[in-house]
Structure 1
């Protein structure tokens, strides 16, 4: 029986374990924090649970007046204009932690039922290989104490150790006032004034969520706009929404330091300006968990930033060693980590497998409105990496959006000239994470705009805008619609 050892129990690790067990391998997962990893325990599941509460608050606040909903808090029969709905952050965070733990337990149950052995500890890869190609994995206790080491023998090893929040030397988190995104769920009360440092996906999501929950938010962005890595039209919509709702967005403002001053936090910008608030959330990227694992000594090539170098079937430079997830730096998404892990096991265990294709990955930013993308981007078109025609339809024209009081957002499709094959798309709307799926299917299966346009859609529906964009692209002489 082939022996597989997986170091790390996040999406890349536990999905790989399920595949390997299904294919008849003897599988051991070495995990230090709980199956599900950061994705389930401190990142995706907790943050999106928090955001779910924020969505209810935002949806009600932004559309109740237009929809004719009045609040009468004092019972005098006259609608009150003052916002009377508050959030109990302690209760919200208790629910967040409860759901994250439950999800981790569900994953553990599924993995153990599949016959996978789970070992709690910290894994290290020993140098060298035996004559039969086997490798040794050292398992230390969670704190890395060498005296508690045990040895596992593996024919194949998968490293899926994820990452952790990056820290600025002069802005060390204390878990009380200066926080990383893993620490915010310990807050018992809503921050009155929250400074969010970093305007990437994590920073934008938390900034929008806490603003919706009732915090006064300042977003510090080192770039000229929020979400610099996303579609520029989508980022412009979101930044406009943020500002319109009262967020203080500081563009081209790099944070140099953060310190506590009594019960407040002072953030110093690189140009000497200071910003103060009651709390500060540092969202300045992530660092791969690859240190002190013996990887270089075992022949695993790393980038200067510590990420593991892999090919499109998740192989590293060391024979018999694969890697998946955030520790590879390929694409920091749970779905990509899971796919990398599955591909690794299929490949190592001799099954046919298609290499990882990042051009079909769909992703979502869980702000309000959400931003979902798949395939080639506007930047790819603008910079000549692909020749594609573009149509963008504002949701203001969509009848369902009008009925729901949705003002912000659009659907954008990219299609190849001549063939009309859909190669990418962007959706900015409520529940864009759900609306992107038909576009993802089109991209993954090389469907044409004609095929999308001919499919029935429900009337009225937001998805009708996808079909309408396809119809406009199907017209030979259509120019871009703004």
Structure 2
């Protein structure tokens, strides 16, 4: 059966209800299109149900634990049945934590669904595949099948955790990041394989919650690809908090034992723990989507190839989010989706500018970045000025007991235009915004430094760093 939309309206079909999909649907509906969104699970996609919302909720609990752990330096004493010498005991009830996390994810999924319905979007639970250039085949959850005709199609199908043949997750002891929320007790010893953003975030969170953590990193330092100074600070903090970081150590296999798991490293070393989290990347959900039939090109990794306005190789078909491999961030997926619909429906649009994208690693301390990187500076040392200001010199940071972190700004030599920056510290995700606005609007270090800031405030380090880049004319 083929289902037609209202012939008087633009016809938009969106496959996938994650940030790229639901944001695109809202824009398309606002522009007057007749919009149908098909999501196999629930609105919000994996970002809401298993990835971003759950992980950052877990990290929020871990942050509170971390703050409590630092409170002794501020003169706070926690007392219970424990002796006064050890300051009392604070523990995390993982069953209660995960119950709260899943409730938050459920509420967010409901909010998104209700928002789509209010906007006039037809949200359908089911599986969708491309049936051609302008057709989508749908199998609803109840079994009903039909084909939708569309003038515009958006693919926002996300990605799933990569699995290794020698380390197959079982959902009990060997886990992907989507399976952690079924645990009802804290792991005694969690081995995290992979030191990228996901691995570092969960290693940081579980260490703060009181779990013994071993982080297996195949690289020389954690967070490969991130700012090197930031990675150095984070690794120092990890080790200082008792985390066992195994650098230049590649996991060859992970197997169950009678009491937990055993990770065998490529050099023959063996690490035993109670649980293992596999954080070794993700794979786009593009297999079986019908891309070849529709003439949509993918690269060697299976990601859909798109341009700056989210167009695929086939006219009328757009893609957004982790399935494109542009940047695996919910904010980027949402922007891709919005740009796609604005372009498809004839509204004003500007191509995605990755240089202006702010990102954050939700470890303790957080690491926020935007724009130019240390690598860019190394490649253009005569064109770029940079300054790095430790947070432990900031009066507000001292009051809060913040000892680790810094502010770094990159600026164009001569003009002083701010090209990028890095913030390492608690709530760095909030502190990066002024630098992001400066990059977006091409502000200079003098313009940033002339802005009034509250005294005392951690954000004062941003203007202080900018003042250090002033050049006498």
Q: Say if 2:194 is the partner of 1:186.
A: no
Using the alignment, how far apart are the partners of 2:294 and 2:463 within structure 1? 52
Using the alignment, how far apart are the partners of 1:141 and 1:380 within structure 2? 48
* Residue equivalent to 1:243: 239
Equivalent residue runs for 1:373-452 within 5 Å = 373-384=369-380, 387-452=383-448
Match of 2:84 among 79, 88, 95: 79
* Residue equivalent to 1:457: 453
CA contact (8 A) 2:79 2:88 kept: no
Q: Say if 2:124 is the partner of 1:116.
A: no
CA contact (8 A) 1:73 1:80 kept: no
Using the alignment, how far apart are the partners of 1:238 and 1:397 within structure 2? 18
Using the alignment, how far apart are the partners of 1:385 and 1:366 within structure 2? 30
Secondary structure (helix, strand or coil) at the match of 1:126 reads: strand
Q: Say if 2:39 is the partner of 1:34.
A: no
Secondary structure (helix, strand or coil) at the match of 2:302 reads: coil
CA contact (8 A) 1:346 1:353 kept: yes
Using the alignment, how far apart are the partners of 1:438 and 1:386 within structure 2? 25
Equivalent residue runs for 1:62-461 within 5 Å = 63-74=70-81, 79-81=84-86, 83-127=88-132, 129=133, 135-141=134-140, 148-384=144-380, 387-461=383-457
Using the alignment, how far apart are the partners of 1:354 and 1:386 within structure 2? 31
Q: Which digits, 9 at most, give the CA deviation of each residue in 1:73-96, with x for residues without a partner? A: 238xx7331651111000000000
Shift of the 354–372 alpha-carbon distance from structure 1 to 2, 3 Å rule, reads same
CA contact (8 A) 2:79 2:89 kept: no
Using the alignment, how far apart are the partners of 2:257 and 2:381 within structure 1? 49
Q: Which digits, 9 at most, give the CA deviation of each residue in 1:366-399, with x for residues without a partner? A: 0000000001111111123993100000011100
TM-score with structure 2 length normalisation? 0.96
Q: Which digits, 9 at most, give the CA deviation of each residue in 1:349-371, with x for residues without a partner? A: 01120000000000000000000
Report the alpha carbon displacement of residue 10 of structure 1 after superposing the two structures with TM. 0.2
* Residue equivalent to 1:49: 57
Using the alignment, how far apart are the partners of 2:174 and 2:245 within structure 1? 19
Report the alpha carbon displacement of residue 283 of structure 1 after superposing the two structures with TM. 0.4
Shift of the 343–443 alpha-carbon distance from structure 1 to 2, 3 Å rule, reads same
Report the alpha carbon displacement of residue 476 of structure 1 after superposing the two structures with TM. 4.4
* Residue equivalent to 1:132: none
* Residue equivalent to 2:6: none
Q: Which digits, 9 at most, give the CA deviation of each residue in 1:277-322, with x for residues without a partner? A: 0000000001000000110221100011100000000000011000
Q: Which digits, 9 at most, give the CA deviation of each residue in 1:219-271, with x for residues without a partner? A: 00010000011100000000000000000000001111111011310111111
Secondary structure (helix, strand or coil) at the match of 1:157 reads: strand
Using the alignment, how far apart are the partners of 2:369 and 2:283 within structure 1? 24
Using the alignment, how far apart are the partners of 2:144 and 2:301 within structure 1? 30
Report the alpha carbon displacement of residue 71 of structure 1 after superposing the two structures with TM. 2.5
Using the alignment, how far apart are the partners of 1:226 and 1:386 within structure 2? 29
Secondary structure (helix, strand or coil) at the match of 2:287 reads: coil
| Number of matched pairs | 465
CA contact (8 A) 2:124 2:140 kept: no
CA contact (8 A) 2:77 2:87 kept: no
Using the alignment, how far apart are the partners of 2:382 and 2:119 within structure 1? 44
Using the alignment, how far apart are the partners of 2:328 and 2:382 within structure 1? 24
Using the alignment, how far apart are the partners of 2:401 and 2:465 within structure 1? 21
CA RMSD of aligned residues (A): 1.5
CA contact (8 A) 1:50 1:209 kept: yes
* Residue equivalent to 1:5: 13
Using the alignment, how far apart are the partners of 2:28 and 2:382 within structure 1? 37
Report runs of 4+ in structure 1 exceeding 4 Å deviation. none
Report the alpha carbon displacement of residue 192 of structure 1 after superposing the two structures with TM. 0.4
Report the alpha carbon displacement of residue 149 of structure 1 after superposing the two structures with TM. 2.9
Using the alignment, how far apart are the partners of 1:300 and 1:386 within structure 2? 43
Secondary structure (helix, strand or coil) at the match of 1:66 reads: helix
CA contact (8 A) 1:391 1:469 kept: yes
Using the alignment, how far apart are the partners of 2:389 and 2:243 within structure 1? 27
Using the alignment, how far apart are the partners of 1:228 and 1:468 within structure 2? 29
Using the alignment, how far apart are the partners of 1:102 and 1:268 within structure 2? 40
Shift of the 139–255 alpha-carbon distance from structure 1 to 2, 3 Å rule, reads same
TM-score with structure 1 length normalisation? 0.94
